[in-house]
Structure 1
Amino acid sequence: MAFVSNDEINEIRAQADIVSIIGSYIPLTQRGKNYVCVCPFHDDHSPSMSVSSEKQIYKCFSCGATGNVFTFVSEYENVPFIEAVSIVANKIGRKLSLDTYKSNVNQVFKEEYEIMLLAQKFYQNNLRTSFAKEANKYLKDRNMTEDIIKEFGIGLSLDSNDSLIKLLNSKNYDNKKLENIGLINNVNGKFYDMFSRRITFPLWDKDGNIVGFSARVYRGEKDVSKYMNSKESKIFKKGETLYNYHNAVNHAKREKSIIVVEGFMDAIRISSIGIKNVVALQGTAMTDNQITMLKKLRVKVILCLDNDNAGLIATLNNGEELVKNNIETFVIRLSGEKDPDEYILANGAEAFQKNVQNPISFFEFKINNLKSNKDLNNVEDLATYVNDVLKNLSTTTDEILREVTLNKLSNDYNLSIDVLKKKLLSFAPVEVKSIKQPAKKERVKKEAYTIASEKILYFMMNGNEYINEYRNKLGFFSDSIHREIANEIVYYYETNKKITVADFITYITNKNNIKEKVMEIVNNAINDIVTIEAMDEYIDVVLKITTKNEIKRLKDLMKKELDMDKKMKLAEQIAELKKEDV
């Protein structure tokens, strides 16, 4: 596992201005001494996020997202913390002092990834041999240029049934492992190359590791399947991958959209004409894992599935699931050719680019589809269509979309707007909201003791003078989570000889037992003016409540105590506590 020292991480954070880093992702506007922006972590339409140059932290006042420069990059880029550190380091022109750093390699499967990479290089090299004339002609006839072949790692598995096995065996890789990851096949105890006599296309996981292959016949064979795919293995789960995702991520964020197609050939063709924000399902049904991958991009999804009935049904089904997951969804339906690959070959890049520039919303696509097989001059068909539109409209809470749709139905078909609204209400038990607000965490009403304790902890994150104040005047919390955080703050300072809120956030990144509570404390106190006088007031609150609770505890003991001497001792303790509290 990659390791970077805490000192080096703190140096990078100190050099990286959070305003500049966040500003490289989204526009910032200065407001007083802070900066504001639209929060990228929820559906924000007005600036809800505040970025503090002084404290080097950010906070969204709507969804509660809080953190430092590393947590922002980690969340925005959807990458592990250590990779976020590397991204920030690169942005400020600093290289990590770790030559072997590669965060996207899962060391558990390191050997499997190495085998897959070696197989892919072997397949690629085969295309350069004299045995590849037919394969190269096939690729050329499909307008697969050298650049495309290189970019997507296209290769060739030779006619020999064991050429890959021999290569990998010579590298001391075991046949059982090769079989388990789907590179070879075992038939009656004899091993064969899985993809012999086929053109190969590597399949990647979200981090860019090769996890499998899809292989296509190219000589016009009729008695075999056109495509053969790697079987699922411990490194390859088809439903957990999107073809070309690792290449498309940054382009999608830049374009603020991701195009989803069915086949990897469609993705390759679209990418070849300069549209790089494209991924392929390698099928028609979208899985929950794939939807999660798309949702984390926080961009609109454009469905561009095949121009057949299966593609139409898949567009409707996948679109519904995306919308349920609050993903802004659009649709492209190509006319004429079966799929984007054939469409581009027949009509050219410019024609396809026009479609990309003018997708329709998923709702509009659904409404248009409801007209299929209906004669809208027929009264019964028209009534069925209008009722179907209203049923679909009842599922949205977008008040503007409702109003526009109702007015359009009224104008297009000369229907009473009042009748349409009445009918809509019969379908619509959902509450209509003009603006969809982000889900906010339910605020639990805290007692004065908890509020004061958490303010003290926040102050302690701001410097040694506050840590000393805690040590000298309080030194202890009765609540275990507060006690644990205080101990971590003291330990951090004693180890590093300095402390800031931003650095402490970095320190607790992997401390799951306290991380959520620390972020909550920072979130609630981020705008507080930090002074010794204010801290002393909070310490006084904690001490008074602690004393009050102790007096109550001793009084309860007195009520139960039968021994008069012990009662007297308890009374003396209570009197002493009351003196101290004056």
Structure 2
Amino acid sequence: MIHRTTIDNVFEAARVEEVIGDFVQLKKSGSNFKGLSPFTDERSPSFMVSPVKQIWKDFSSGKGGNVVAFLMEHEHFTYPEAIKYLARKYGIEIEETEQTSEQKEQADERESLYLVSEFAKTYFHNTLLKTEPGKAIGLSYFKERGFTDETIQKFELGYSPDQWDAFTSHAIQKGYKLEFLEKTGLSIVKEEKQFDRFKGRVMFPILSMSGRTLGFGGRILTSDKKAAKYLNSPESDIYHKSKVLYGIYLAKQSIAKEDNCYLVEGYTDVIQFHQRGIHNVVSSSGTALTADQIRLVNRLTKNITVLFDGDAAGLRASLRGVDLILEQGMNVKICTFPEGEDPDSFARSNSLEELTSYLEEKSQDFISFKASLLASEAKNDPIKKADTIRDMVVSISKIPDVIKREVYIKECSRIMDISEEVLFNTLAQLLQKDAKNTKKNDGQQPQQKAFDIVPSEKKETKKVDALYELERKIIELLLLYGNVEEEFEDLILETNEKGEIAFKPEIVKAKVFEKVFLDLQEDEIEFANEGFKVLYFEIINKLNQEQEFQIDTFVNELESDKASAITDILMDEERYVLHKWVEQEIYVKQKEHTIAQVVSETILNLRRFLVSQKINELSEEMKTQESDKRENGLQDIMDYITLKKVLSEKLNRVL
């Protein structure tokens, strides 16, 4: 168990915008930050981070919370793991008590897979550096590749002994279960025998964006033609090849800072670039590029530069990945190396200045690159040239941004010497075809022709739960302004000379939480929503006990479900920031200027709603009452109607 002192120190040191900034590209938006949701595939930002309140909210998925909640959602950490991650990030010493064997057994399967993978990484790394076979075989190979000791340490490279079960036996001796060794793919179990998957290979640990070990890539060092040159961990609960990019953990901050990501093919390409001084580089680990991998980069930058080998066979096939990048609304450049060179060899034989200069000069816009590549294949063949042009328009059709599409069509027209009109017509046909296919796959009807009369379908409008919204508003006011002192106009209910019910105004100075509590207590109003009722009393007690009420501290002390509910309430008011209203000269009146008015209005609305509810209840009761009892019931209804009228008049004055 982690000591409470450590947890408090972590929350005090951690900055939500810094931690989330490691995973999501955030941009300043007033007093907040915004970015693309890391939980959904979206083009317009709906993810908000509040440095003042130290909370975040993702409006596209509905998720939200504090810094620990983000790590638990995004990285699937347990609560202790998230605290330990933050402690390491901010250099805080972790104090904890020894776990019992029972607590260890309660660790879930997913966590066990992470623990096994972490153990394997340490084992392979130590084998490389501290054993004779590791030094003679594995370390010699890495040195031949030009990797320094610092680079080997940074990427935690390793070596798996050339023995059938060296790792498996060692792991079992250390108490790791064969079940989890098999599920991570580190060990292969057949009948009653088990052996190492990566026997006799140098090891490349594959890390998540937060630095957790997900799997491994292993390269064989012998000339065995039957064995694959590179071998990856199989799919598991923690390792999904299509959703991982090699090097993303060490590259993420540089990608966001440089606002560009270099995409290469292999492990050594990444390592060599990094060693040379270019850190914003990742690899798809020799697999075909996927939409999930692109979205991983999209959280950090909109710009990708794809680096191809100079003599890459099947370069045309590799260009399919470019279309996939364009589909995600990203900007793509392509750079090829001289014949016989790849990113690894070129970075090794050139200085940082030479490498940087080459990348800047030789990186081409995707349309120019595709034109030059395909045009050289077509030469003077008109049929091939037509196919080339169509191929280019297909790529342009993948771009979701209309303006970008038009710019690229004009560029294609200039390069290929063909009229824009023909290209636009071809583009329109492709877009129409894609739209039809999409609708067909979604089971929708084909698009109606212009001027067709389509009968409108009646949609059920979701009824607003007024009581829920009013109670929610009270919680929001207490959280935001609970300790603020304001002047309120209290109205004393009395009967005037004519016998009419009226309010007598009286100015009262009080804190918001005192005003709310006394008003609700006076009317004997209880929250209908159980969740809000619990939160209400917790907030009132906190405000009553502490002179300085800190929202971030309060949220961190709550259970996850309560913290999530409060985050929803607090961040809902930030939603308007996403619409850029100020940029459109639409100015929103800030609540801070009219706190007393908003509080009074909310309480009056709640009173009026409850009075209306009582009138309805009495009306329903009268339907089943005998005639002699109805007179009393009718008088009660009339009294409540009079009260409702007075409340409405008062509410109009407040508004």
Q: Same fold (TM over 0.5)?
A: yes
Q: Are residue 40 (structure 1) and residue 32 (structure 2) matched?
A: no
Structure 1 residue 407: deviation in Å?
3.8
> Distance in 2 between the 1:17 and 1:394 partners?
39
Q: 1:154 to 1:395 in 2, by over 3 A?
A: closer
Match of 2:535 among 484, 488, 491: 488
Structure 1 residue 491: deviation in Å?
0.8
Q: What are the equivalent positions in structure 2 for 1:434-473 lying under 5 Å apart? A: 453-461=471-479, 462-464=481-483, 465-473=511-519
Match of 2:334 among 327, 331, 334: 331
**TM norm structure 2:** 0.67
Q: 1:534 to 1:86 in 2, by over 3 A?
A: farther
Tell me, what secondary structure is at the counterpart of 2:299?
A: helix
Q: What are the equivalent positions in structure 2 for 1:349-368 lying under 5 Å apart? A: 350-357=353-360, 359-368=363-372
* Aligned match of 2:611: 547
Q: 1:473 to 1:18 in 2, by over 3 A?
A: farther
Comparing 347-356 and 75-84, the one that deviates more: 75-84
* Aligned match of 2:151: 148
Tell me, what secondary structure is at the counterpart of 2:261?
A: strand
Q: 1:565 to 1:261 in 2, by over 3 A?
A: farther
Deviation readout 1:78-130 (Å, 9 max, x if unpaired) = 89798888898899x884764689xxx9744464245314422442235x526
> Distance in 2 between the 1:110 and 1:387 partners?
47
> Distance in 1 between the 2:188 and 2:129 partners?
22
Tell me, what secondary structure is at the counterpart of 1:156?
A: strand
> Distance in 2 between the 1:119 and 1:51 partners?
41
Match of 2:561 among 511, 530, 548: 511
Tell me, what secondary structure is at the counterpart of 1:302?
A: strand
Q: 1:198 to 1:573 in 2, by over 3 A?
A: same
Structure 1 residue 493: deviation in Å?
4.0
* Aligned residues with identical type, % of pairs: 22
Comparing 545-554 and 187-196, the one that deviates more: 187-196
* Aligned match of 1:273: 276
Q: Which runs of 5+ in 2 are unaligned?
A: 99-108, 434-460, 484-510, 577-588, 647-655
Q: Aligned letter for 1:157?
A: S
Q: Which runs of 5+ in 1 are unaligned?
A: 30-34, 431-442
| Contact 1:262 1:280 (C-alpha < 8 Å) held by counterparts | yes
Tell me, what secondary structure is at the counterpart of 1:511?
A: helix
Q: Are residue 342 (structure 1) and residue 406 (structure 2) matched?
A: no
* Aligned match of 1:123: 127
Q: 1:428 to 1:553 in 2, by over 3 A?
A: same
Q: Aligned letter for 1:576?
A: D
Deviation readout 1:127-150 (Å, 9 max, x if unpaired) = x52674355444333323333333
Q: 1:361 to 1:522 in 2, by over 3 A?
A: same
Q: 1:401 to 1:242 in 2, by over 3 A?
A: closer
Structure 1 residue 248: deviation in Å?
1.9
**TM norm structure 1:** 0.74
Q: Aligned letter for 2:221?
A: Y
Q: 1:537 to 1:229 in 2, by over 3 A?
A: closer
Tell me, what secondary structure is at the counterpart of 2:289?
A: coil
Deviation readout 1:1-48 (Å, 9 max, x if unpaired) = 7575799379728x97989x99xx97869xxxxx558743479999x9
> Distance in 2 between the 1:181 and 1:88 partners?
26
* Aligned match of 1:474: 520
| Contact 1:123 1:200 (C-alpha < 8 Å) held by counterparts | no
Q: 1:500 to 1:68 in 2, by over 3 A?
A: farther
Tell me, what secondary structure is at the counterpart of 1:265?
A: helix
> Distance in 1 between the 2:311 and 2:614 partners?
76
* Aligned match of 1:301: 304
Q: 1:367 to 1:573 in 2, by over 3 A?
A: farther
Structure 1 residue 396: deviation in Å?
3.5
Q: What are the equivalent positions in structure 2 for 1:531-570 lying under 5 Å apart? A: 531-558=595-622, 560-561=623-624, 563-570=626-633
Q: Are residue 12 (structure 1) and residue 15 (structure 2) matched?
A: no
> Distance in 1 between the 2:190 and 2:76 partners?
41
Structure 1 residue 282: deviation in Å?
1.7
Aligned residues: 551
> Distance in 2 between the 1:76 and 1:328 partners?
29
| Contact 2:327 2:398 (C-alpha < 8 Å) held by counterparts | no
> Distance in 1 between the 2:167 and 2:245 partners?
26
> Distance in 2 between the 1:67 and 1:6 partners?
23
* Aligned match of 2:493: none
Tell me, what secondary structure is at the counterpart of 1:251?
A: helix
| Contact 1:266 1:340 (C-alpha < 8 Å) held by counterparts | yes
Q: Aligned letter for 1:371?
A: A
